[in-house]
Amino acid sequence: MRHYFHSALILAYAAGQLLFGFQADRSLQVLHLANEGLLIRSGGQALLIDGLFRPYRVYAHLPPDQSRALEAAQSPFEGADLILVSHIHGDHFHPQSVSNYLSSQDGAILASSEQATAAVRSVLRRDEALRKRLIDITPAVGKKEKRKFGKIEVTFLGLRHGAERHSWVQNLGHLIRMGGKTLLHVGDAELSSANFRPFKLSKEKIDVAFLPYWYLLSEEDRQLVGEQIAPRRIAAMHVLPSEAEEVCKKIGQALPDAICLKEPLQVERF
Ligand SMILES: [Zn+2]
């Protein structure tokens, strides 16, 4: 009898390990940096998106000491295998910040538009080892391209930037599968059915969509998000520090389940 009891205990322990070990592997940690910047970790892998930029106009930014630690790939910002950039505007990207992270973090690569990689290439000059860690991926507007980086799968989406004056800017959306979850980051894509329709994102079972907050302010736009993206959860970002309180309050009233990313170093788990 004692023997059986002992075996049952071992079995229960093993099942628990399997269950919780499995869950731990699936759990995703998202560290909000500032503006649309995120550091996403799952298992042993991590990616950085739109986090490597410097103070720019009125937009949110990390405090200077955190910003230095980020560029030096120091804790809690170390270990990103993959750097993604939606577009080259200064509130999403600075070529020197990306170059600094690449030189600080062994093996990290940048996979982004020709405009972003060209800007980084120009600050790297002749550093051939680092230049090899830049990958150009620039699907045309309405087109997509899927790539795997270790266990992270990214579909790069050619999504037009909002506003006509920015039509020269290559803006990429990123549909990311990692840690058993599907995430969407759209940069500053124009919210219109014409822009999103080619990607049929509502069929991708998106767990979390990270969206510019202005997508969520009117009933009409929220409906478009529901039709075109249909995410299980929404995280609002690109929030200006001066408007954070008001914007997050509005979004909270319309979408009580939504997360409002307004604080630097805010952590969310999915
Ligand atoms: Zn922006």
d(CA 119, CA 80): 20
In a domain, residue 23? The reply is no
Cα(130) to ligand 1 centroid in Å equals 27
pTM of the model: 0.90
CATH number at residue 68: 3.60.15.10
Cα(91) to ligand 1 centroid in Å equals 5
In a domain, residue 18? The reply is no
Cα(16) to ligand 1 centroid in Å equals 44
Strands of 38-42's sheet, edge to edge? 134-136, 109-112, 82-84, 45-49, 38-42, 28-32, 267-269
In a domain, residue 146? The reply is yes
DSSP character string of 103-156:
HHSTT-EEEE-HHHHHHHHHHHTT-HHHHTTEEE--PPTT-EEEEEETTEEEEE
**Enclosing domain of residue 193:** 29-269
Cα(182) to ligand 1 centroid in Å equals 23
Torsion of CA 107, 108, 111, 113, to 10 degrees: -120
Cα(3) to ligand 1 centroid in Å equals 64
In a domain, residue 13? The reply is no
In a domain, residue 22? The reply is no
Cα(140) to ligand 1 centroid in Å equals 20
In a domain, residue 228? The reply is yes
Cβ proximity of 31 and 264 under 8 Å:
no
For tokens 């014409």, the residue is 194
pLDDT in tens, the chain (270 residues): 555 555 555 555 455 445 444 444 458 999 999 999 999 999 999 999 999 999 999 999 999 999 999 999 999 999 999 999 999 999 999 999 999 999 999 999 999 999 999 999 999 988 999 999 999 999 999 999 999 999 999 999 999 998 888 889 999 999 999 999 999 999 999 999 999 999 999 999 999 999 999 999 999 999 999 999 999 999 999 999 999 999 999 999 999 999 999 999 999 999
Domain count, the chain: 1
Cα(232) to ligand 1 centroid in Å equals 24
Cα(188) to ligand 1 centroid in Å equals 6
Cα(86) to ligand 1 centroid in Å equals 9
Cα(189) to ligand 1 centroid in Å equals 9
Cα(92) to ligand 1 centroid in Å equals 6
Cα(93) to ligand 1 centroid in Å equals 9
